[in-house]
Amino acid sequence: MYSALTSLLLLVVVIEALSAIEWATYPYFPDKSLIFARTDATTFSILAPFSPVFLILLLYTWAPKLAVTFDNKFSKRLKTLLSSFARSLSYIRPQAQSMDTFHGFALTRRPRLLLVLAVIMAMLLGLVPYRPELNPAMTPVGVDAHYYVDWVNQMLQLSPAGAFSYALGSASYGSRPLLLLPLYLVVSSGVITTIQAVEFLPAVLGPLLALSTFHFVREGQQNEKMAGVVSIFSVFSFDATVGMWAGFFANWLAIVEAYIFLAVLLGFLRASSRSKFVILTLLSIGMLLTHPWTGAVVLSVSAVFVISVWRDSRKPILVKSLALLLTISMAVYITKSIFVEGLATAQYTSAGLSGSGVSQFLDFWPNLIYTIFVYFDGILANAIILGLSVVAMIYLRFPDRFERLLIVWVTIGSLPFTLLTSGLQARLLYDLPLPILTSIGLLIAIRPAGGKTLHCNLALLLALLLSANYALRTATNLVAAPF
């Protein structure tokens, strides 16, 4: 049995490795049929139909967890049912309790090397759609990319003061000045053109995402090995693939800022200081000036999380600091909106939310199917990412602050989900901490390999290769569809 499982894992790892090579060298790979890449794509297609169910479980696993905490007949029956289910999986749970240990994982022995590899791979992945043999015309990739080109070109026609005012007000209703202003400064220096600056954004944002997730997990788990694994998976996550496909550059940058903000927040809760509060406030304002939607989600998560921590510790400084931070951040943003944009932001938000409500709840399943399989050309139909995230949500523990933060993050995202249109559902899913949940779920899932070190390492390598193939296939198909 041991030899058979080892042989099977080795076979699948080899197939996935050859598939990654085919994608990385396309169209120069000798085998023009791309048999291994086709095999990998077929595997994802077979698993894709499970994605809607996995997404529902991911979003609402917290509900039964909360229900068993009440004292009534229903909660007692549910608790009995869940206890029976937990006992049937008892061979997993003991290992999940110690998922912060990585003895035997060869790939995690040098976490900072993993981080360096993640940064390099993120940079290369961001440049895939601009390989000359795939995109000879060097056409900007991403649905929203042309907006950034237009906004920066408009800023270049103005004086520096006018460009600053335009970024704060007219450009996208003043919703992303902290991305437009650096782009403007780089292009106005004459080093590169506007189109080149926009084309290089994924190659910059990808590495920043790897660095920010590494810092967030290291601060939250106090474990660099876990952080190294997360940094790798962040490179191949929805943040990168959807970010490139849709051109969600401001949203992508705001997620980077969010991970840094939450890392500082966890540090502040352990040892509060004036300097950390100042950094938190600046990052909070930064998120709102980079992408208000993401900033609002993250600040809502932070508020609920801090209040839950305060209920345990009863330290008044936590609530006072939270109230002051939110007051300052909202005051700055509202002031900017009133004096620079007028009512444009309110009108834009109202238009974006139009159509959401009870009517969308009645069409929840059709909306969900459209969100996963049609929106972004089906990039969200990754059953591996969603399935592993479900495993993580099942075993996350509320007493652990880092895990509590992840639970709160998903819970806050799930509350309006059924009332939103497909486009807003996709945006909400994009803002969830899926790279972290995927990594945790994977480490839980591969632990039950009977303590077989070789099997654990092969399973981890296989998951990385599957994720790499997904990202490479997505990036390549943006400009060239081999099949």
Mean pLDDT is highest, among 28-32, 148-152, 447-451, for 148-152
- Using alpha carbons, list the distances in angstroms from residue 415 to 160, 301, 354: 43, 12, 18
Within-domain flag for 198: yes
Q: What is the pLDDT of residue 106?
A: 72
Q: Which carries the bigger pLDDT value, residue 46 or residue 84?
A: 46
Q: What global pTM score does this model have?
A: 0.92
Crossing angle for the helix pair 111-127 and 453-477, to the nearest 10 degrees = 20
Q: Mean pLDDT throughout 194-202?
A: 96
Q: Which of 14, 70, 16 is nearest to 44 (CA)?
A: 16
- Given the structure tokens 């970010």, which residue do they identify? 243
Task: Classify 56 as helix, strand or coil.
Answer: helix
Task: Classify 29 as helix, strand or coil.
Answer: coil
Within-domain flag for 45: no
Within-domain flag for 319: yes
Distance between CA atoms of 231 and 443, rounded to whole angstroms? Answer: 14
Task: Classify 131 as helix, strand or coil.
Answer: coil
Within-domain flag for 112: yes
Within-domain flag for 476: no
Encode pLDDT of 247-278 as tens digits. Answer: 999 999 999 999 999 999 999 999 889 999 99
Distance between CA atoms of 211 and 156, rounded to whole angstroms? Answer: 31
Q: What is the pLDDT of residue 55?
A: 97
Q: What is the pLDDT of residue 66?
A: 76
Encode pLDDT of 322-379 as tens digits. Answer: 999 999 999 998 888 777 654 555 555 555 566 677 788 888 999 999 999 999 999 9
Per-residue pLDDT at 95 exceeds 50? no
Within-domain flag for 19: no
Question: Mean pLDDT score of the chain, rounded to an integer?
Answer: 88
Number of structural domains (the chain) is 1
Within-domain flag for 37: no
Per-residue pLDDT at 114 exceeds 70? yes
Encode pLDDT of 412-428 as tens digits. Answer: 999 999 999 999 999 99
Within-domain flag for 472: no
What is the CB neighbour count within 10 angstroms for residue 112? 12
**Residue 420 tokens, joined:** 């939103």
- When pLDDT is cut at 50, 70 and 90, the band that residue 96 belongs to is very low
What is the CB neighbour count within 10 angstroms for residue 198? 25
Structural domain including 141 reads: 53-452
Share of the chain above pLDDT 70, in %: 88
Distance between CA atoms of 406 and 433, rounded to whole angstroms? Answer: 7
Sequence-separated (6 or more) residues with CB below 8 Å from residue 472: 20, 23, 24, 125, 128
Encode pLDDT of 431-444 as tens digits. Answer: 999 999 999 999 88
- Using alpha carbons, list the distances in angstroms from residue 376 to 241, 289, 426: 9, 25, 9
In sequence order, what DSSP letters do the residues of 229-297 get, joined into one string? HHHHHHHTSHHHHHHHHHT-HHHHHHHHHHHHHHHHHHHHHHS--HHHHHHHHHHHHHHHHH-HHHHHH
Q: Which of 278, 265, 273, 258 is nearest to 310 (CA)?
A: 265
Q: What is the pLDDT of residue 355?
A: 66
